[in-house]
Each structure stands twice: as C-alpha cells, then as structure tokens.
Amino acid sequence: MNDYLNSLNPRQKEAVLHVNGPLLVFAGAGAGKTKTITARIAHLIANGVEPRSILAITFTNKAAKEMRDRLKLGFEAEKPFVSTFHSLGVFILKENSREIGLTRHFSIFDKSDSQKAVRDILQDFGLDTKQHEPGKFLSIISREKGNLKNVGDFLDSIRGENSTSHHELVGRVWSAYEKRLNEEKALDFDDLLLKTYKLLKNHPEIRERYQKLWQYIHIDEYQDTNQVQYMIAKLLAEKNRNICVVGDIDQNIYSWRGADIKNILNFEKDYPDAKVVLLEENYRSTQNILAVANLIIKKNTNRVEKNLFTKNVEGDKISLYCGFNETEEAHYIANKSKELIEQGIRPSDIAVLYRANFQSRVIEDAFLTKSVPYQVLGTKFFERKEVKDIISFIRAGLNPESLTDIKRIINVPARGIGKVTILKIFSEQRDTLPAGMKVKINQFFALLKKIGDSALDQKPSAVVKFVIQESGIEKELKDGNDEDKERLENMRELATLAVKYDHLPIGEGIEKLLEEAALASDQDSLEKNENAVKLMTVHASKGLEFNYVFITGLEEGLFPHERMNAVKNKEDNEEERRLFYVAVTRARQKIFLTYANSRTIFGSTQMTVPSQFISDIDEQFLESDQTFEHREKIIYLEL
C-alpha cells in the first residue's frame, strides 16, 4: 500500500508525509518534484482523502499529463483535478457561465485570434501596424490583466498628470478589443484567469463551493505565478489552508510576462505556520554539470541558498567552442550532432538551446546541409491553417456570435462572399443583399446550424469528420495536388486526435477538444516526439531534459541578453543568470557551450565579446573543442 514511499529520499518523504497545513517545497532542478507531488497525492488518497477533493495545478499541459500518467488516472468518476491554471479557469467559468454573461460555449481567443483582432482595430484607427505592433499592445494588456486590472481600472489609472498619448492609445485599443470580445461572446487567455479571480472574489457562495470541493491544493512552479494566479490560489486555499506549493527561485525566468518572485519568497509571511522542505538531491545530471550549475547561480543574491548534489557519475567536462561567425557555430553544432547520432545516440536525446528565436534560422540551415533530422519546438499542430479552419467551423456552430471564426471560414471552401457582404451580415443588413447572395448566406448559416447540432449530438471524432465532409473541404482537396492532400491528412489527424475525448459525455468531449486547441503551448508540439534533434529557446526548454545539450550564442548582449533602449538593472541581470542556470540543468550527460567571434543581427555584422557566464565557470570543468573547422570560412572572409 505504501510502495510510493519506498523510492523517496528522506526530504521527499518529509514533504509527502506532511498532510495538513501549508507546505513550501523548494525543489532544485532535477530533484524529483513531480515525483514528490504525485507521491503526496497518492499518500493523501491512501489515508482516506477523497480523490475529488484534491486539486493539482501545473503550468504546462505536458506537466499536467505527466502528473496524471504517474497517478495512473484513467476515466474514474472520482479522481484528483489535475490541470493548468488556464484549464482550471475554463472549468470554473463554464460551470458559472451565466454569472459572467456567457454560455458554456464561449469562444477562447488564442494568441493568433487576439493578434488579428488588435491588428484590425489599429487599422480601423488608421494606424500603421508596422509602426504600432499589435503584439506590444497585447503584451501591455496581458500584463495589466495579470495584475488584476480590467480595462476600466486601466482607464482610471491613466487619467491625470502622468497620462501620455501612448497610454491613451493603449486605452482606446484595449476598449475596442474588449468590445470585440464581448460582441463575440469570447474570452482571451488572460480573461480565463482574471474573470475566474473576479468570480471567486465577488461571489462568496461560488468561492465556498470550490473551497469545499478542493480541500487539498497543490501548485507546481509557484515561482512563476503572477498576481492573478497567486490570488486564485489564495482564495481557493483560504478556508482549509491545506496548500502545498513547489518551486525553485533559481528557475524564475518569466518576470517579463508578470511572474512575481515575491509570491514564493513571501509564502511564509502568508502562511506563518508553513512547513518548509528543501530538495537538493539531483537525479538528472552528472556531478560536473551540477558543479557548474551551482557555480553559476551562487552569484545571485535574491534566492534561497541551496546546493545541488548527486550520486550520479562525475561525467564529461563541458565542451567549449568558438566559431568565426554564427554560420560556423551552426555548422559545428550540426556536425557534432551528426557525430553523436552516428555513435548511436537517438536524435531526440539532443537539444539545441538559444536565447532568441532569430538564432534558429542559421542552425536550421546547417542541419539541412548536414541532413540531420530536427524539430523546432513551437511549430504547433493547432496553428496549421487547415486545422484552425475545422476548429473555427465547430466554434462558430456552437457560438454563432463568433465573428472571428465566421470571417475565417465563410469562404472555406470558396463561396464568393466578400468583405462588404460580411459587414452587412453583422450589421443586420442581410435584407439588402441580392437574392443570389442571400441564398449563399442562408446555406452557410444552415451548415453552421447542422455542425452545432452535430457537436451536441455526436462524439468529437465524428464531429470533425462531419465538418470535413459537410463543409465541402474534403471534396475540394481530395483530388488536388500534394499540398492539398497533405492539408486533408492534417484535418483527418485532428479527427484521430479527437478520439481521446470520445469516452466523455456527448457535448463535454467537443468542449475539451476546443479547449485543447485554444490552450496548446509550445511544448505540446513534442507530443508526437519525433526522433529528431530538438531546437528551442531556453525559455521553452524549462521542464524538459535531454542527454546532450548545446547552449548557443553565449555572447555579451545576446546571452546575457540586453534589450534595446532598456536600462540594465540587478533584477534583469539575475534573471538572465537564472535563465543560463535553467539551460545548464536541462542536460543529463553532456553540455556543449558555443559562441561566435562575430554575428550578423538585423543585417549588421558586429564583433562580439564572450559571455560573462563562460568566465564564471572554473577552468577545471571546461575543455576546448576546436577540432571542427568549417571549410567555407574563406568565403566569409572574402565577403
């Protein structure tokens, strides 16, 4: 019965056996935090706690799935609720949709939906979207919502002496964006959290219902919580105070999107009777890798002191390579990856990490040249046009107010319906349309009605197949060229993916499929786990681990990164160091550090200075690897 306890070390067991009251677990990289959380949940259940009264919140779908798998959760009616913060928000808001003026079938704007909405708004204002980037407005809106502010709060805050024309423009854009969301009965990512918080805060009877339901709360990666996530957790735990948070200050790397390190640092102030457990034994990396990680992070002062150790082997030294430029650096990485693969290493056990997305292009070119299989993390299945089209048909069928979805699919396949017609449809001028166009429009909305009925009457996989056939897409693509056939295959793959929700009650399964499509993250593109070298940013690598890791572009200004026109401060410097620590601790067996003497960025070639992180590593842990020399160097010199 207590088998789950036998494999735990003393510190892990201490955390697992603490049943009632607040618990703070500082878990170093690779210290078995997921194992500890799942063992704690198993212990609660073994000691009579009802599974349904346990809540576990993670930050990625991948982490939630891993936790469910470890708990061996099947389709039992009574089981712990394991989800991300956003999925938790969807669950609570759907159960209480009337309180927020929506139906259960409200649409969720994914990032591309939000980007398009803001781009349209800026164009309506007569502004150039190259000069006024939609992403920058969305970043401000997201940050403010994460700090518990809605558009009304923001408009109040900018009235006064400190208001600027930029603040006023943000306020106008945000107001128009909220109007668009309301009209379409839609929420964006940040609303899923902000409206959940407002619901719990302003409706005591709803808050008490969930406090009674979830009596034991677990939150993973607590150092990454922002203000709204912190408040949701605090409200849910307010009554029973059985809250267990797990985190690592040294892996706090998301302050730019609102993560507040104070949440974990102040946990003992929020809960003075909290038990604190420190997990320092690492099960992932070699002794040399951990020695380097400890050296790197000790320079930070805003942290809780800990020292990772392991019983693993000493391992290889850290290889260091300097390329003539970024192209030579990339060819070294591709060549070394090919060597490892030829030695029998699985390509998927190798990762290439970079600080900025633009670095991937030259690395991809080198991998193509060397015929090394690779997969760029972030190429999402749900972002493919044809897949989004099918999803939009279903969303519009369930929510006929969703203008964004209708505009996307009203001409899929082509129906000859133009922008002016669409405007008339949504401004209640359908009667003014020509008779022939009225027929087309009526047929389209009749199709949406059939799809909506199908979604509430059939299993999710059958609904997807129904859309592919009834929409006319299959007929248009099946006799097309190779690209058309590939698009059709991707749509059919969506039907295959939907099968995993077929066991759920009719209606609920399709909701889960739409939720997965909207909330898919970069790491979800690893679901298929292609046997290929993984390329990704360091931020995207958090929570993952690989046998062999290349950390690239280690130059001052790139890694550590310097933002243009930004004033450097201690907090930024410490976060960059934490980011390098995260990169180092992704590796199990071997690390390759690379940099270039010159790099071309935005068309300008600059001489570079090696990153301070390299000089922070004691020479006893480093070995120079200059055995590779790219033969095209002479060409670069001549250019």
Is 34 among the residues known to form the active site? Answer: yes
- Alpha carbons 379 and 525: distance in angstroms, whole number: 6
- Alpha carbons 638 and 170: distance in angstroms, whole number: 48
Nearest to 91 by CA among 218, 235, 195, 223: 195
Is 453 among the residues known to form the active site? Answer: no
Is 220 among the residues known to form the active site? Answer: yes
> Per the structure block, which two tokens stand in for 431?
């009667």
Alpha-carbon distances, residue 576 vs 277, 355, 527, 558, 611 (angstroms) = 26, 10, 29, 10, 11
Query: Given 119, 586, 588, 599, which residue is catalytic?
Result: 586
567 CB-contact burial (10 Å; exposed 0-12 / middle 13-18 / buried 19+): exposed
Determine the distance from the C-alpha atom of residue 575 to the mean position of all C-alpha atoms in its chain, rounded to a whole number: 19
Query: Given 34, 115, 129, 287, which residue is catalytic?
Result: 34
Peptide bond just before 400 cis, omega within 30 deg: no
> Per the structure block, which two tokens stand in for 630?
């790219």
Q: How many CA atoms lie less than 13 Å away from 379 in the CB half-sphere?
A: 10
Q: Kindly give the pairing relationship between strand 587-601 and strand 604-607.
A: antiparallel
Nearest to 234 by CA among 105, 161, 148, 162: 148
- Residues found in the chain: 639
* Sequence-separated contacts (24+) of 72-75 with Cβ below 8 Å: 75/503
Is 620 among the residues known to form the active site? Answer: no
Q: 209: phi > 0 → left, psi -120 to 50 → alpha, else beta; which?
A: alpha
Query: Given 196, 211, 251, 404, which residue is catalytic?
Result: 251
**Residue in the block written with tokens 């929700």:** 501
H helices, E strands: number in the chain: 29, 16
Peptide bond just before 413 cis, omega within 30 deg: yes
Is 619 among the residues known to form the active site? Answer: no
Query: Given 113, 191, 220, 576, which residue is catalytic?
Result: 220
Query: Given 110, 144, 184, 221, which residue is catalytic?
Result: 221
Nearest to 585 by CA among 333, 291, 380, 312: 291
Is 369 among the residues known to form the active site? Answer: no
Beta bridge partners of 84: 58
* Sequence-separated contacts (24+) of 166-174 with Cβ below 8 Å: 169/132, 170/137, 170/140, 170/141, 172/125, 173/118, 173/121, 173/122, 173/125, 173/137, 173/141, 174/137, 174/141
Phi, psi of 28, deg, nearest 5: -65, 165
Amino acid at 526: L
- Alpha carbons 598 and 276: distance in angstroms, whole number: 47
Secondary structure (DSSP) of 281-338: B-SSS-HHHHHHHHHHHTT-SSS-----B-SS---PPEEEEEEEEHHHHHHHHHHHHH
Beta bridge partners of 81: 55
CA torsion sign for 127, 130, 133, 135 is: positive
Amino acid at 412: V
Query: Given 11, 13, 33, 542, which residue is catalytic?
Result: 33
> Per the structure block, which two tokens stand in for 465?
């197949």
238 neighbors 211 (Cβ within 8 angstroms): yes
Amino acid at 208: E
Residues noted as catalytic = 33-34, 220-221, 251, 586
